[in-house]
A and B are shown apart, each in its own frame.
Chain A
Amino acid sequence: MADSTTGSQTNVMSGADIVIQSLVNHGVEVVFAYPGGASMPLHQSLTAYRDKIRTILPRHEQGGAFAAQGLARCTGRPGVCMATSGPGATNLVTAIADAKLDSVPLIALTGQVPTRVIGSDAFQETPIIEVCRGITKHHYLVTDVEDVARVMREAFHIATTGRPGPVIVDLPKDIQLAQTVPDFDAPMTLPGYHVQERRARPEQISQVAAAIKRSKRPMIYAGGGIIASEASEELRTLVKKTGIPVTMTVMGLGSFPNADPLSLDMLGMHGSVYANYAVDQCDLLLALGVRFDDRVTGKVSEFAKHAKIVHIDVDASEINKNKPTHIPVVSDVRYALTELNKIVEAPDDLSGWHEQITRWKTEEPFKYNADYPDILPQMAIDVLCQVTAERDPVITVGVGQHQMWAAQFYKFRSPRTFLSSSGLGTMGFGLPAAMGVQAAFPERLVIDIDGDGSLQINIQEFATCFCEKLPVKVFLLNNQHLGMVVQWEDRFHAGNRAHTYLGPVDDPEATGKGDGRGPEKRYPDFVAIAKGYGAGAAYVREKADLRDAITEMIDYPGPFVLDVEVPYMEHVLPMIPSGMTVRELIKE
Chain B
Amino acid sequence: MRHVLSALVQNVPGVLAHISGMLASRGYNIESLAVGETESPELSRMTFVIQGDDAVLEQVRKQLEKIVTVVRVVDISSQDFVERDLMLLKVAAPDGEKRHAVKQLIEIFRGKIVDVGPRELMVEISGQEQKINAFIDLIRPLGISELARTGRIALVRSGSKVDDEDEAPASN
Q: Give residues in A with beta carbon < 8 Å to B.
A: 129-130, 133-134, 137-139, 141, 158, 189-193, 315-317, 319-321, 324
Contact = CB atoms under 8 A, between A and B. Distances in A.
Contact of A317 (B14, B55, B66, B72): B66
A379 B49 CA distance: 57
Nearest to B22: A134
12 contacts: A129-B14, A133-B18, A134-B21, A134-B22, A138-B68, A141-B13, A191-B71, A192-B9, A316-B62, A317-B63, A317-B65, A317-B66
A137 B62 contact: no
B59 interface: yes
B90 to A, nearest CB: 34
Given A192-B9, A317-B59, A321-B59, A133 B14 contact: yes
A138 B70 CA distance: 11
B172 interface: no
Contact of A315 (B18, B22, B66, B68): B66
Nearest to A193: B68
Nearest to B24: A134
A315 B59 CA distance: 12
Give the interface centre of A130, A133, A134, A158 by most chain B CB atoms within 10 Å. A133
Given A317-B63, A317-B66, A191 B14 contact: no
A315 B2 CA distance: 26
B58 A192 contact: no
The 10 closest A-B pairs by CB, nearest first: A317-B62, A192-B71, A138-B68, A191-B71, A192-B70, A133-B18, A316-B62, A193-B68, A317-B66, A317-B63
Contact of A192 (B13, B59, B62, B72): B72
B67 interface: yes
Contacts of A191: 10, 42, 71
A315 B9 CA distance: 19
A134 B55 CA distance: 22
A191 B15 CA distance: 14
A44 B69 CA distance: 33
Interface in B16-44: 17-18, 21-22, 25, 42
B68 A158 contact: yes
B70 A320 contact: no
Contacts of A189: 10
A321 B55 CA distance: 8
B6 to A, nearest CB: 14
Contacts of A317: 59, 62-63, 65-66
Interface of B: 9-10, 13-14, 17-18, 21-22, 25, 42, 55, 58-59, 62-63, 65-72
A191 B12 CA distance: 12
Contacts of B69: 192
Contacts of A129: 14
Contact of B21 (A133, A193, A324): A133
Contacts of A137: 68
Contacts of A324: 55
Contacts of A193: 68
A261 to B, nearest CB: 38
Contacts of A192: 9-10, 65, 67-72
Contact of B55 (A130, A133, A320): A320
A193 B17 CA distance: 19
A133 B58 CA distance: 22
Nearest to A167: B68
Nearest to B73: A192
Nearest to A162: B66
Given A130-B17, A134-B22, A134-B25, A320 B68 contact: no
Nearest to B19: A133
A138 B14 CA distance: 11
Nearest to A154: B68
Contacts of A138: 68
A139 B63 CA distance: 16
Contact of B58 (A130, A139, A158, A320): A320
Contacts of B25: 134
Given A317-B63, A324-B55, 8 more contacts: A130-B14, A192-B68, A192-B70, A193-B68, A316-B66, A317-B59, A320-B55, A320-B58
B68 A190 contact: yes
Nearest to B55: A320
Contacts of B58: 320
A133 B10 contact: no
Nearest to A129: B14
A171 to B, nearest CB: 16
A321 B56 CA distance: 9
Nearest to B68: A138
Given A130-B17, A191-B10, A321-B59, A316 B65 contact: yes
A141 B58 CA distance: 31
B25 to A, nearest CB: 5
Nearest to A324: B55
Give the interface centre of A130, A190, A191, A316 by most chain B CB atoms within 10 Å. A191
